[in-house]
């Protein structure tokens, strides 16, 4: 599929499907629309009246255009109230029409400009289309017949936005990589194949890469990460990708993602039908988004140095598994009493955060499918955010807002640290059920000294049970677009 832009007007366009965007309660067929209606023998007005189309956000109506050879299908999509119009309204509207137009060969889109900004408008529409149309048929023996046929999408009235379209395509390639990594089951995506993927991204897009194995991690004293890795048949793989801009970097940043290719819970095994063990292939969602962001940023080439880090392993059981009660020593020398082997993500992140801070970066953002408690607090669509620096939290909020990805800031409530105190070691890895996502964040904070830091708990939004917005059911690629916006801001 190719997305192009032109200065053509919808009145002159001929092709398979034409999509028009309308603000809520602004659906009068006057001016150019009246001319179009005439050309289409009244189909436009009929469609609006009969379907009671009002332009409400995320609604759409569609009609075949009988007899007309110039346009065969007319799609009307609601953009919502004009006073609530954002870039994301365009992204969602594009995502709404893409599957409807999917059986057509060519589609033209005519949407109003966001803030008179053709670049932002074209970028948002492109993202909406690519993300909504992506389907993952890698594991089907035959691709389903109803696969999309859309060959050409033309953005009308947006001539000269080729660069914005290309930029959005690069970002989407990162989102789609993250989705495919998350969706791949644990027998396909192992620590080894995940590290290979990192190597491939590096080769393809000229990034520096190092992958540390068991011995190298031992030398660095990564006892927390290696404790989790003990029962896996696969060696641990500590991934470090580096993007360096051509000139002097404006900033130096680190993105750290939790990379559990499978989380069985360990000896505190996830048992019972409600445990969700069958979904735990997605526990590398943070690492997947880290690699997705690396792929996008390597292509976008900002003037910022970025380190992409993921300590990748599985949390398994065997005679060699970490026992509940074991005491581990992390690479900053702190000791941890593992009172629950299922709170493993924070153990792997502990060593990854220490590693990131040693690089001398200006800010660290970690992202992790860390706690079920965060899903209980914020639901499936919203990530929790904790930060040691308000200005950094604001940067992430702004980046997320632009991306249409949802974050909600949560407190680093020091009083709750009480629950994490151990009699025998410096800390335990698990507190009580109450405030479970907060104590997890407080645990991570023990492994940061003074670098400004943001923690995102993405356990909810990495996965969508059903199609919604730009996401199809399954892996979402959250929050690659937020990370890219942040680095570029
Ligand atoms: N990977 C899970 C968290 C998770 C839960 C991700 C649901 C996605 C969906 C994490 O390793 C975990 O098991 N957390 C425990 C922590 C508890 C033992 C303190 C949890 O949330 O139950
Ligand atoms: Mg766990
Ligand atoms: Zn986990």
Average pLDDT per consecutive 10 residues, the chain (489 residues; last block may be shorter): 96 96 98 96 97 97 87 97 98 96 90 97 98 95 78 97 98 98 98 98 98 98 99 98 97 99 98 96 99 99 99 98 98 98 99 99 99 98 98 98 98 98 98 97 98 99 96 97 98
Tell me the pLDDT tens digit for each residue of 190-201.
999 999 999 999
> Is there a catalytic annotation at residue 270?
yes
pLDDT at 148: 67
Entry pTM = 0.98
DSSP conformation letters of 24-56: TT-----THHHHHHHHTTTHHHHHHHHTT----
What is the reported pLDDT for 147? Answer: 62
> How many angstroms separate the CA atoms of 160 and 121, rounded?
12
C-alpha 479 – ligand 1 centre gap (Å): 19
Q: β-strand 71-78 against 15-22: which pairing, if any?
A: parallel
Mutate to test the pocket of ligand 1, among 314, 347, 370 (most ligand atoms within 8 A of CB): 370
Residues 24 and 21: their CA atoms lie apart, in Å, by: 10
Among protein residues, the one with the nearest Cα to ligand 1's atom 22 is: 372
For residue 373, the ligand 1 atom closest to its alpha carbon is 21
User: Where does CATH 3.40.220.10 sit in the chain?
Assistant: 2-158
Beginning with the edge strand found earlier in the chain, give each strand of the sheet holding 327-329 in spatial order. 327-329, 335-337, 427-428
Domain with CATH 3.40.630.10 in the chain: 169-488
Q: Which residues line ligand 1 (CB under 6 A)?
A: 263, 276, 283, 340, 342-345, 369-373, 375, 430, 436, 459
Using most ligand atoms within 8 A of CB, pick from 372, 384, 432 the residue to mutate for ligand 1: 372
Residues paired with residue 363 on neighbouring β-strands, in sequence order: 253
Rounded Cα–Cα distance for residues 169 and 395 (Å): 23
- Structural element, H or E, at residue 310: strand 304-315
Residue pLDDT, tens place only, 429-469: 999 999 999 999 999 999 999 999 999 999 999 999 999 99
Separation CA 2–CA 95 (nearest Å): 16
pLDDT score for 66? 83
Cα–ligand 2 centroid distance for 48 (angstroms):
51
Ligand 1 atom at minimal distance to the Cα of residue 283: 1
For residue 275, the ligand closest to its alpha carbon is 1
Question: What CATH architecture applies to the domain 169-488?
Answer: 3-Layer(aba) Sandwich (3.40)
Cα(343) to centroid(ligand 2), Å: 5
Predicted local distance difference test score (pLDDT) of residue 67: 80
Report strand pairing: 251-257 vs 304-315.
parallel
Name residue, tokens 């049970």: 465
Fold of 2-158: 3.40.220
> What are the φ/ψ torsions at residue 146 (nearest 5 degrees)?
-80, 15
In ligand 1, the atom with minimum distance to the C-alpha of 431 is 19
Q: Which ligand is nearest to the CA of 266?
A: 2
| Residue 28: predicted pLDDT | 98
- Measured in Å, residue 37 CA sits from the centre of ligand 1 at 55
Q: What distance separates the 2 farthest-apart alpha carbons in the chain?
A: 82
**Closest by CA position to 425, among listed 437, 413, 443, 440:** 443
Q: Which position among 72, 167, 346, 481 bears the catalytic label? A: 346
**How many angstroms separate the CA atoms of 81 and 79, rounded?**
7
Q: Which is the closest atom of ligand 1 to the Cα of 263? A: 1
Q: How far away, in angstroms, is 371 Cα from ligand 1 center?
A: 4
Nearest CA to ligand 1 atom 17: 343
| pLDDT value for 446 | 98
CA atoms of 423 and 465, how far apart (whole Å): 42
Two tokens, residue 354: 């220490």
Tokens of 141: 């023996």
In angstroms, rounded to a whole number, what is the distance separating the alpha carbons of residues 344 and 242?
26
With a CB cutoff of 8 Å and minimum separation 6, the contacts of 187 are none
State residue 454's pLDDT score.
Answer: 99
Instruction: Specify the pLDDT at position 298.
Output: 98
Ligand 1: nearest atom to the Cα of 374? 21
Residues 56, 251, 270, 406: which is the catalytic one?
Answer: 270
Report CA(103)–ligand 3 centroid distance (Å).
40
């Amino acid at each position: 599929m190719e997305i192009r832009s032109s200065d053509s007007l919808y009145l002159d366009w001929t092709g398979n499907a034409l999509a028009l965007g309308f603000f809520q309660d602004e659906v009068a067929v006057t001016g150019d629309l009246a001319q179009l209606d005439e050309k289409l023998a009244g189909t436009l007005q009929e469609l609006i009246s009969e379907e009671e189309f009002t332009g409400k956000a995320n609604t759409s109506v569609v009609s075949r255009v009988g007899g007309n050879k110039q346009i065969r299908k007319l799609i009307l999509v609601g953009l919502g109230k004009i006073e609530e119009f954002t870039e994301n309204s365009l992204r969602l509207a594009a995502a709404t029409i893409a599957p409807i137009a999917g059986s057509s060969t060519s589609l033209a889109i005519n949407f109003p400009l966001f803030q008179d900004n053709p670049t932002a408008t074209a970028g948002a529409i492109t993202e909406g289309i690519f993300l909504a149309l992506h389907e993952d048929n890698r594991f089907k023996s035959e691709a389903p017949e109803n696969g999309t046929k859309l060959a050409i999408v033309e953005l009308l009235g947006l001539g000269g936005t080729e660069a914005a379209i290309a930029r959005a395509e690069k970002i989407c390639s990162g989102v789609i990589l993250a989705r495919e990594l998350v969706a791949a089951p644990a027998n396909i995506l192992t620590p080894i194949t995940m590290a290979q993927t990192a190597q491939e991204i590096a080769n393809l897009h000229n990034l520096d890469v190092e992958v540390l194995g068991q011995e190298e991690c031992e030398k660095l004293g990564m006892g927390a990460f290696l404790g989790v890795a003990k029962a896996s048949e696969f060696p641990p793989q500590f991934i470090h990708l580096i993007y360096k801009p051509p000139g002097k970097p404006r900033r130096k940043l680190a993105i750290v993602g939790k990379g559990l290719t499978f989380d069985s819970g360990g000896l505190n095994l996830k048992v019972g039908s409600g445990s969700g063990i069958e979904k735990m292939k997605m526990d590398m969602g943070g690492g997947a988004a880290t690699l997705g962001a690396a792929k996008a940023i390597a292509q976008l080439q900002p003037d910022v140095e970025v380190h992409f880090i993921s300590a990748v392993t599985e949390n398994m059981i065997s005679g060699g598994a970490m026992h509940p009660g074991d005491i581990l020593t992390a690479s900053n020398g702190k000791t941890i009493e593992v009172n629950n082997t299922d709170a493993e993500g924070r153990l792997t992140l502990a060593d990854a955060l220490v590693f990131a801070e040693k690089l001398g970066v200006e800010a660290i953002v970690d992202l992790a499918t860390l706690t079920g408690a965060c899903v209980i607090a914020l639901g499936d669509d919203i990530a929790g955010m904790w930060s040691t620096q308000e200005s950094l939290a604001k940067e992430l909020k702004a980046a997320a807002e632009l991306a249409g990805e949802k974050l909600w800031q949560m407190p680093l409530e020091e009083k709750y640290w009480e629950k994490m105190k151990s009699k025998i070691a410096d800390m335990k890895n698990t507190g009580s059920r109450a405030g479970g996502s907060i104590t997890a964040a407080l645990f991570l904070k023990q492994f940061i000294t003074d670098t400004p830091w943001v923690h995102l708990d993405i356990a909810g939004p990495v996965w969508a049970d059903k199609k919604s917005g730009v996401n199809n059911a399954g892996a979402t690629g959250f929050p690659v677009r937020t990370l890219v916006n942040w680095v570029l801001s």
